[in-house]
Amino acid sequence: MSSTGKIAIIGVGNMGEAVLAGLLKAGHAPADVLAGVRRPERATALAETYGVAAVDPAEAAERAEVLVLGVKPYQVVDLLGGLPLRAGQLVVSLAAGLTTAAIEAALPAGIGVVRVMPNTPSLVGEGMSVIAGGATASAEQVTLTESLMAAVGAVATVPESQLDAAAAISGSGPAYVFYVAEALVEAGVHLGLPRAVATQLVTQTLVGSSLMLRETGEHPAVLRENVTSPGGTTAAALRVLENAGLRGTLLDATRANRDRSREIARGHM
């Protein structure tokens, strides 16, 4: 399959729009990207903002080689049943918890399925997308999906059996980071800092720390130790976090996330 064929984003919410914007920024021509939407006002807004054709999902599916599904997991199967699909197309699902097997069962023969778990930093081009190809997806189709998602950040390809675990780390990971950021801002306020100053300190500290992780390639433990002087203030704070069981709490949280994803896959919405 050529990477120059038409790509339809069906379900252009936050994540779908992030993919659309990323594809255009990466050099895809607006004429090669379709937005599949039902509401006329949304179609008008997307056409004006991005210069793409915004059409009914059925028309988008008919015209495209690649369909990126940005709708909710419980909407995917019903949506696919109403689209004019054909052999040779590729369906890329962004739906959490919905297995490739469940999607393949709703499709005609000869259509490849690749499952992707992106995250919200895709909105600023710094996403982490985890990809798994289904039984019907060719190696070329998986590679094509990697190329598409690279437009909005980094990409990792794993066996589908690992996708729920990966999604528990990166898919929901921004929520954990924002939760910690919120708590640190409140801590700064309690310590006497103006809220605006506390927010600036926390935001830039998270940005800088993340860049150090990525750019240095060092293990997080090494970077942590570089900040922690024996008997110092950081060591005192880390002791409190350790005594509070932060590591175990994060393990429990990510396990609960993975288990909920498996429940969704079994149809317990």
Contacts of 102 (CB under 8 A, 6+ apart): 77, 265
Tell me the average pLDDT across 161-169.
93
Q: What is the mean pLDDT of residues 79-101?
A: 93
pLDDT above 90: residue 118: yes
Q: Angle CA(74)–CA(90)–CA(31) in degrees, nearest 5? A: 105
Query: What's phi and psi for 219, nearest 5 deg?
Result: -65, 140
What are the pLDDT digits (tens) for 120-129?
Answer: 999 888 999 9
Residue in 68, 70, 45, 42 with CA at minimum distance from that of residue 56: 42
Number of other CB atoms surrounding residue 156 within 10 Å: 15
**Mean pLDDT of the region 200-214:** 97
Nearest to 262 by CA among 168, 127, 133, 142: 168
Predicted confidence band of residue 3 (pLDDT cuts 50, 70, 90): very low
Strand partners, 247: none
Assess whether pLDDT exceeds 50 at residue 177: yes
Average pLDDT, rounded, for the chain? 93
CATH code of the domain occupying 7-158: 3.40.50.720
Domain boundaries, the chain: 7-158, 173-265
Average pLDDT over residues 50-78: 93
Q: Does the pLDDT at position 161 exceed 50?
A: yes
Q: What is the Cα–Cα distance from 13 to 82, expressed in whole angstroms?
A: 20
**What pLDDT is stored for residue 159 in this prediction?**
96
pLDDT at 251 over 50: yes
Is the pLDDT score of 268 beyond 80?
no
Q: What is the pLDDT of residue 74?
A: 86
**Is 155 within 8 Å of 252 (Cβ atoms)?**
no
Write down the CATH number for the domain with range 173-265.
Answer: 1.10.3730.10
36 SS3 class = strand
pLDDT-derived band at 269 (thresholds 50, 70, 90) equals low
Report CA-CA distances (Å) from 269 to 47, 103, 114, 149, 157.
33, 16, 22, 27, 26
Q: pTM here?
A: 0.88
Given this model, what pLDDT does residue 4 score?
46
Helices (H) and strands (E) in the chain, counts: 12, 8
Give the contacts of 209 (CB within 8 A, at least 6 positions apart): 223
pLDDT of the residue at 1: 36
Closest among 245, 246, 97, 262 to 179, alpha carbons compared: 246
Mean pLDDT calculated for residue range 243-251? 96
